[in-house]
Amino acid sequence: MQQRPALGRGGVASFVFSLCAFLYITNLNDQIIASIVAGAFCLLICYIASERPNSESARALTALGDRLLAVEDGDLVSPPPAIVRQNMPKLAAAVDTLFAEVRASIENAQALGMYDPVTSLPNRLHFRSEADKLLGGAAAGSSCAMLFVDLDRFKMVNDSLGHARGDQLLIMVANRLRVVVTAEVAEGPGKRPLLARLAGDEFTLFFPEITSVSDVERVARRIALAISEPFELYGHSVDIGASIGVAISPDHGSSIESLMRAADIAMYRAKALGGGQHCLFNDELAADHQRKIDIEKALTEAVQRGEFVLAYQPQLSLVTGELVGTEALLRWNHPRDGLCLPGSFIPVAESTGLISEIGDWVIGEISATLGNWHRDGFDRRVAFNVSPRQLDRVDFFSRLRHALADNGVPLSMVELEFTETAAMRASEAVVVEIAALRADGVRISIDDFGTGYSNLSRLRTLPLDRVKLDPSLIADIEQSERARVIVQAVIQLIKGVDCEIVAEAVETSAQADILRAMGCHTIQGFVFAEPMFEDEYLGWTRDAGSSRIVA
């Protein structure tokens, strides 16, 4: 619209100039020259008239481009330049709207990045930032407290009711924790505690001011009680609990990171004690945690350094007196601590996943040993433990079969031992693989029976040959009538599923006699043979022949 008046004024000026030229110039040549000059002038006038507004637009666009490039420096606030508003008001308005929407999106993204989308509590990042500020602002000589809350049995809710229901449960847990925090604020003059959800089913509370450790433990007990109350979830009554770790500053750490680590360690101790309770961090936990770290570090190199060895402990029939089997037991020849029994390092290997690498070594070592024995005509069956972690590997059974086949080991020389819990929780696919091995000659045993959870119906349908009583069951059978009643009941139960019974850790002849009378006819223990390394074991079997009998 601005361009048309400018062109009109340019046309009038060209007309006037041309008229004057032709009125005063009479010579033809001069007329020609004047016509050319007048035409050129007309072109110049029209060009200026038409290009002037375009030049303004170009300058406005250049200014707008400079403004947009300022976004690289984080400028999302400054308005479009005035020249843009004058020459392109609609474009300037659109840029204002765009910047406003971008600022709103960034603010929303920052909010989402600082809060948990399920519970609307601060997330780990926000918690760390705010807790650092609170700890840094604490008065000299004051104490702070960190509480780690981990839900017990939450995974069962997710598995049975689904993740959507699990999220609803997390919201309800967060609300109960808010109630506890609000009550604490109402009861005391201190600063408001900081409540957050770290991840999964883990929550944390930070108290920037505490009057005493006993007050913090009271809060921990209140939280445990609040979470232990049943939750009504879409027609289901859900019972969970909470394991709570407590750490105090500056006794257990002077930074948020060290306090979180201490509270986390204490929480795992509370969970190991059965859950539904709290545990205060202390020097014993710190030493135990450091020991686990040292073991984990040493275990990562133990296989490569060849520090593991196998010991073999015979199993004896109380009916015939014959050697009816052998168990291969893992030993760690620690470079500093000497020969270590499995109980001192297997739990750490299980928790860190190193058990898979150790299990691979055991399979390789046993396969090579049994292959040599078979070629020498010594076809003695050997049992060894399989870790639940190994069962989680989809290629475990194929790797086991290949290792045995590569060493020429008949499957009849192999016995696999699974813990009671692992056997009960085994998937149908794993049970099928176990049954296939059993059909091919491998014997299958449940180890440490009586310490885990058994589904009697599942026990009856599992492909089993033997059940080994846990040593804790028979430890007191000489002195305790109650212990004898329990062992007798377990033996009858095992007989009911048509399995052979094996008693481990039999240390005295009196224990062996009681077990024989109860119907347990196979024993393993110091009463007749300790675990031995291969050369000693082979010599022992040659000397023992087939008549080694417990007195």
Tens of each residue's pLDDT in the chain, 551 residues: 444 454 455 454 444 445 454 445 555 455 555 455 444 444 444 544 454 556 777 777 777 677 667 666 667 677 878 777 777 787 777 777 776 776 666 666 566 678 898 999 999 999 999 999 999 888 888 899 999 999 999 988 888 888 889 999 999 999 999 999 888 876 665 678 999 999 889 999 999 988 899 999 999 999 999 999 999 988 888 999 999 999 999 999 999 999 999 999 999 999 999 999 999 999 999 999 999 999 999 999 998 899 999 999 999 999 988 899 999 999 999 998 899 999 999 999 998 889 999 999 999 999 999 999 999 999 999 999 999 999 999 999 999 999 999 999 999 999 999 998 888 889 999 999 999 999 999 999 999 898 766 777 788 889 999 999 999 999 999 999 999 999 999 999 999 889 999 999 999 999 999 999 999 999 999 998 999 999 999 999 987 654 444 44
C-beta of residue 7 within 8 angstroms of C-beta of residue 46: yes
CA gap 260, 292 in Å, rounded: 18
CB atoms within 10 A of CB 14: 19
Residue 71 DSSP code: G
- Measuring CA to CA, which residue among 464, 360, 345, 365 is closest to residue 407? 365
Give residue 265's pLDDT. Answer: 96
The number of beta carbons lying within 10 Å of the beta carbon of residue 385 is 22
Q: What is the largest CA-CA distance in the chain?
A: 152
The total of other beta-carbon atoms located within 10 Å of residue 56's CB is 15
CB 190 within 8 A of CB 207: yes
Question: How far apart, in whole angstroms, are the C-alpha atoms of residue 47 and residue 57?
Answer: 16
What's residue 330's pLDDT?
97
Going by their DSSP bridges, the two strands 236-238 and 231-233 should be labelled as: antiparallel
The pLDDT assigned to 359 comes to 95
Residue pair 118/167 in contact by the 8 Å Cβ criterion: yes
What are the C-alpha distances in Å from 530 to residues 226, 307, 445, 526? 51, 21, 21, 5
Q: What is the DSSP letter of 412?
A: G
Evaluate whether 85 touches 92 at the Cβ level (below 8 Å). Answer: yes
Report yes or no: 421 and 449 within 8 Å, Cβ to Cβ.
no
175: number of Cβ within 10 Å: 10
* pLDDT value, residue 201: 93
CA distances (Å), 125 to each of 110, 120, 196, 253, in order?
Answer: 11, 14, 10, 20
What is the per-residue pLDDT for 247? 97
What is the predicted pLDDT for the residue at 97?
78
Amino acid 106: pLDDT: 65
Asked whether 348 and 292 are in contact (CB, 8 A), the reply is: yes
User: What pLDDT is attached to residue 463?
Assistant: 94
Cα angle for residues 87, 92, 97 (degrees, 5° grid): 165
Where is 445: in which H helix or E strand?
strand 443-449
- Rounded to 5 degrees, what angle do the CA atoms 369, 433, 345 make? 55
107 CB burial (10 A radius; 0-12, 13-18, 19+): exposed
Beta carbons within 8 Å of 182's beta carbon, 6+ residues apart: none
| Joined tokens for residue 230 | 């049943």
Q: Could you say which DSSP state residue 530 is in?
A: -
For residue 233, the 8-state DSSP code is E
Answer for the pair 149, 174: CB distance below 8 angstroms, yes or no.
no
